């Protein structure tokens, strides 16, 4: 990434049950303005419901759909928001 897109992110889950996940290759993809982070929780079908991670001060996290567990877990890894360090 050319700039620090993770600085100033709101790392408070949008609703109960959501956990922070990071794309495994987000640092190497170099997509401008994308942090590579999503909030995700399991739904009734066993897939993951995802929501956007917002910058501090933005009002609402928005839904990104539901992904099959195998696909989601292949590309994303769980991150502890309490020990998360933004990239420099």
Indicate whether 88 pLDDT > 60.
Answer: no
Total tally of structural domains belonging to the chain: 1
Question: Domain limits at 34?
Answer: 19-79
- Residue with more model confidence, 18 or 87: 18
* Residue range 1-48, pLDDT digits in tens: 334 556 678 888 888 999 999 988 866 666 656 678 889 999 999 999
Q: Is 6 inside a domain boundary?
A: no
Q: Is 88 inside a domain boundary?
A: no
Q: Is 62 inside a domain boundary?
A: yes
Place of tokens 């890894």: 77
Indicate whether 83 pLDDT > 50.
Answer: yes
Which strands sit side by side in the sheet containing 19-23, from one edge to the other? 63-67, 48-52, 37-42, 19-23, 76-79
Indicate whether 76 pLDDT > 80.
Answer: yes
- β-bridge partners, 48: 42, 67
């Amino acid at each position: 990434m050319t700039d620090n897109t993770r600085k100033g992110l709101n790392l408070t889950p949008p609703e109960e049950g959501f956990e922070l996940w990071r794309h495994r290759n987000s640092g190497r993809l170099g997509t401008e303005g994308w942090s590579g982070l999503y909030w995700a929780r399991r739904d009734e079908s066993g897939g993951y419901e995802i929501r956007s991670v917002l910058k501090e001060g933005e009002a609402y996290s928005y839904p990104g759909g539901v992904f099959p567990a195998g696909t989601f877990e292949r590309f994303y890894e769980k991150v502890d928001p309490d020990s998360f360090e933004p990239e420099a």
